[in-house]
A and B are shown apart, each in its own frame.
Chain A
Amino acid sequence: MKLYSLSVLYKGDSKAILLKAAYDVSSFSFFQRSSVQEFMTFTSQLIVERSEKGSRASVKEQEYLCHVYVRNDGLAGVVIADNEYPSRVAFTLLEKVLDEFSKQVDKIDWPVGSPATIHYTALDSYLSRYQNPREADPMTKVQAELDETKIILHNTMESLLERGEKLDDLVSKSEVLGTQSKAFYKTARKQNSCCEIM
């Protein structure tokens, strides 16, 4: 069970703004790592843009699960994990991180922030500690706050999109993704990764 990324974003009126992120791409092949990281940024932003304020959701895409929590004040967090990682712990982590972040970083900085300007350094250590869900926090069997029935489950990224919108188009237009990542996306889309030669 793995965590791949942990990001804090702000849901603006039209766009989601990345404030801070931590990544663990060590389990990916060396030459894929930078593309994978870019994709996780892209995905996190997209998910926050398409989620309502005051909601929690889990979005499944292949063998990944993206857990998102958008608070009513627009502060949002995304955890990208594999499908073994217990989602309950992922949401506990998001709650904790956003709570801490909101106390350390002024609200006024959120709509205009970026990873370079925001002063919040705890994400890397959270990501690393929570790799083992048991060592991170004692898992409370009954989490009073979290009502699991309210978590929206999406079976694909596609279900987040507007009618007629295609993920392929969003990828080509994205400013977050470099040319190599876009090429990577194209070839990955075409093939069944099982028989991959190219």
Chain B
Amino acid sequence: MAESTEEVAVLVQRVVKDINNAFKRNPHIDEIGLIPCPEARYNRSPIVLVENKLGVESWCVKFLLPYVHNKLLLYRQRKQRLNKDELVDVTCTLLLLNPDFTTAWNVRKELILSGTLNPIKDLHLGKLALTKFPKSPETWIHRRWVLQQLIQENSLPTFVKKENLATFLTERVQRIVQEEIEVCGEAAGRYPSNYNAWSHRIWVLQHLAKLDIKILLDELSSTKHWASMHVSDHSGFHYRQFLLKSLISQTMTDSAVLEQSPLVSEHIPDLPKDDNEEDTSAEHHRVVDLSRLLEDEVELSTDLIDNYPGHETLWCHRRHVFYLQHHLNNKLPHSQMRLSPVDSNGGTLHDLNLSPAVTHMTQAMDVDGLNDSNKQGYSQETKRLKRTPAQDSLGIEMEHRFIEQILSTCRNVEQARFANAYRKWLVTLSQ
């Protein structure tokens, strides 16, 4: 049944209006989806609203998408005028169907910058789009742009200083951070090893939460169960590695802790909150028992490897954790591992005067620490490992025993393969 141009136009106007009305009727819509429906039912709208879920029947997409896509392009080419409301509706429809259409997000950027569109709306729209397209790169990228706008434009500080000179994240920023964590968590659950979702989560901790130690610790404990139930999720475990690395770097910049050997850190009494004699660094005076955290992580790794044989992710994670333990044991005060907040990507871009485009580019994602100065010194790291004190050889001994135990009892071919590979890796460490 061929649709004439007028029929298509009428249909599309109607669908766009139906979508708009659905949002008005139910501001709590929390999920979008496509309903496989090859044929239209006579005179019924393809937009279906059930509970808080918005569905689009698939038959209409082949008319709808090209039409609104074209309309937006014509606007962009200045061949067709669209008023602000029309732009919002058209881009909204487009992005719910294909959130990787960058032009549509860019039109919305312009609307936000001109004050016509509330940036919160884009966070909501993005969240919805992610329910159907949990990986969508453009959605995550736009989201970061919006968050930067929100943090910058109101000139609200990220930190407040309290009586004892320690600084804390403002409540507003904390709320934003928690919401972002929730969005990332949902998206991570909808697609296995969702690198884009986890990277965004890392970005949020770096640039919004400024690697606040309390949040790092909270994240470590709150993602433990999730990771245990997603033992093949590389990105989820990579996130835990990031948390541990950040905790090490954030704790190490506190000069008080640097003097101590990490092994006796548990004997440091808790610094009282009104201790004004301490240096006026901006960090929390929170004592983080790094070696305990790493030991706990090794224990988690052992537990998971034992109970869920044959998952490479778990063995990779173990390597990372073991490696971090080694860094900790070999830590010298002037260590290259040290990352002060100024070095990390977000720190110096705290100022407000950069244009959005520049900010967007310079706040590039530094998920894997490629910009870390210490990464260049890999061979130096391994050389340091050669000078392992007794502590380290004991650690390696224990790992070899663990491997033996696995190999002697496992019945899973993959598990044996991973255990052997891990053993080889350990051997190269001490060469």
Contact = CB atoms under 8 A, between A and B. Distances in A.
Q: Do A and B come from one complex?
A: yes
B31 A35 contact: no
Interface string A43-82: 0000000000000000000010000000000000000000
A45 B192 CA distance: 28
Interface in A109-161: 132-134, 139, 141, 148
Interface in B222-247: 229-232
B307 A134 contact: yes
Residue with the highest number of chain A CB atoms closer than 10 Å, among B36, B65, B131, B409: B36
B232 A84 contact: yes
Given A84-B308, A84-B311, A134-B307, A31 B232 contact: no
Helix, strand, loop or mixed for chain B's interface? mixed
Interface in B173-194: 189-190, 192
B229 A31 contact: no
Given A1-B231, A86-B308, A134-B307, A183 B65 contact: no
Contacts of A141: 409
B34 A31 contact: yes
A197 B55 CA distance: 14
Contacts of A31: 33-35, 48, 53, 55
Given A29-B131, A132-B229, A198-B58, A180 B36 contact: yes
Contacts of A183: 36-38, 58
B229 A1 contact: yes
Contacts of A83: 232
- Of the listed residues B61, B97, B229, B409, the one surrounded by the most CB atoms of chain A closer than 10 A to its CB is B229
Interface residues of A, number: 23
Interface centre among A27, A29, A83, A187 (most CB of B within 10 A): A29
Q: Give the most central of A1, A32, A83, A133: most B CB within 10 Å.
A: A1
Contacts of B132: 29
Interface in A176-198: 180, 183-184, 187, 197-198
Contacts of A1: 229-231, 308
A30 B33 contact: yes
Contact of B411 (A63, A148, A180, A198): A148
Nearest to B131: A29
B381 to A, nearest CB: 32
Given A29-B31, A30-B31, A197 B189 contact: no
B358 interface: no
A148 B311 CA distance: 18
B10 interface: no
Contacts of B232: 83-84
B50 interface: yes
A198 B97 CA distance: 8
Contacts of A198: 34, 58, 61-62
Nearest to A181: B36
B325 interface: no
A23 B149 CA distance: 44
Contacts of B189: 27
B98 interface: yes
A104 B138 CA distance: 55
A61 to B, nearest CB: 15
Given A29-B33, A141-B409, A180-B36, A187 B58 contact: yes
Interface in A5-32: 27, 29-32
A29 B409 CA distance: 40
Interface string B52-91: 0101001001100100000000000000000000000000
A35 B51 CA distance: 18
Nearest to A197: B98
Contacts of B50: 30
Interface string B241-256: 0000000000000000
Nearest to B50: A30
Contacts of A180: 35-37
A32 B33 contact: yes
Contact of B53 (A30, A84, A184): A30
A139 B62 CA distance: 51
Contact of A197 (B97, B190, B307): B97
A16 B38 CA distance: 30
A180 to B, nearest CB: 6
Given A31-B55, A198-B61, A86 B35 contact: no
Nearest to B233: A84
A16 B230 CA distance: 33
Interface string B303-314: 000011101000
Contacts of B33: 29-32
Most chain-B CB neighbours within 10 Å: which of A35, A139, A141, A197? A197
A133 B228 CA distance: 11
B16 to A, nearest CB: 17
Contacts of B229: 1, 84, 132
A139 B307 contact: yes
Nearest to A179: B38
A68 B50 CA distance: 35
A198 B56 CA distance: 10
Contacts of A148: 411
11 contacts: A29-B31, A29-B132, A30-B31, A63-B192, A84-B229, A84-B230, A84-B311, A86-B309, A180-B35, A180-B37, A183-B38
Closest 9 pairs (CB-CB, A-B): A31-B33, A184-B36, A183-B36, A30-B53, A29-B33, A31-B55, A31-B35, A183-B38, A84-B232
Interface of B: 31, 33-38, 48, 50-51, 53, 55, 58, 61-62, 65, 97-98, 131-132, 189-190, 192, 229-232, 307-309, 311, 409, 411
Given A35-B36, A84-B232, 6 more contacts: A30-B31, A31-B48, A32-B33, A63-B192, A86-B308, A198-B62
